[in-house]
């Protein structure tokens, strides 16, 4: 977490149930200059089946960055499943 952030002034920009999708979203926001982190990421890595019980991985941003983060994440839509094989 960013050292200057006040925990009371954080907001959830998105919730993910797949760590890979969450990592891509973090990379997208960070590449656009939005500081963020995943809540419960370490718990998911230790016990991935508990993600549903915990309510997913929460992508946290500062309150002032919330609207920008949500706008950037609108453009990001993960694939619903594995990609189709390419037939040559």
| CATH number of the domain enclosing 38 | 3.30.70
Domain span at 34: 7-74
Determine whether 11 is exposed, middle or buried from the number of CB atoms within 10 Å of its CB (0-12, 13-18, 19+).
Answer: middle
Q: Do the domain assignments include residue 31? A: yes
Please tell me the total count of domains within the chain.
1
Closest Cα to residue 1, out of 18, 51, 9? 9
pLDDT score of 48: 78
Longest dimension (CA), the chain: 54
pLDDT value for 47? 81
What is the mean pLDDT, run by run of 10 residues, along the chain of 88 residues? 71 91 94 92 81 86 94 76 61
pLDDT for the residue numbered 12? 94
The number of residues making up the chain comes to 88
Residue 54 lies in a domain: yes
Q: Does 35 reside within a domain?
A: yes
Q: What is the pLDDT of residue 14?
A: 93
56 located within any domain: yes
Structural domain contains residue 48:
yes
């Amino acid at each position: 977490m960013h050292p200057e952030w006040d925990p009371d002034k954080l907001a959830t920009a998105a919730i993910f149930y797949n760590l890979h999708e969450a990592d891509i979203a973090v990379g997208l926001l960070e590449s656009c200059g939005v500081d963020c982190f995943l809540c419960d990421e370490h718990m998911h890595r230790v016990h991935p089946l508990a993600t549903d019980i915990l309510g997913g991985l929460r992508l946290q941003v500062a309150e002032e960055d919330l609207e920008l983060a949500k706008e950037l994440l609108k453009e990001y839509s993960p694939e619903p499943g594995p990609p189709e094989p390419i037939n040559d």
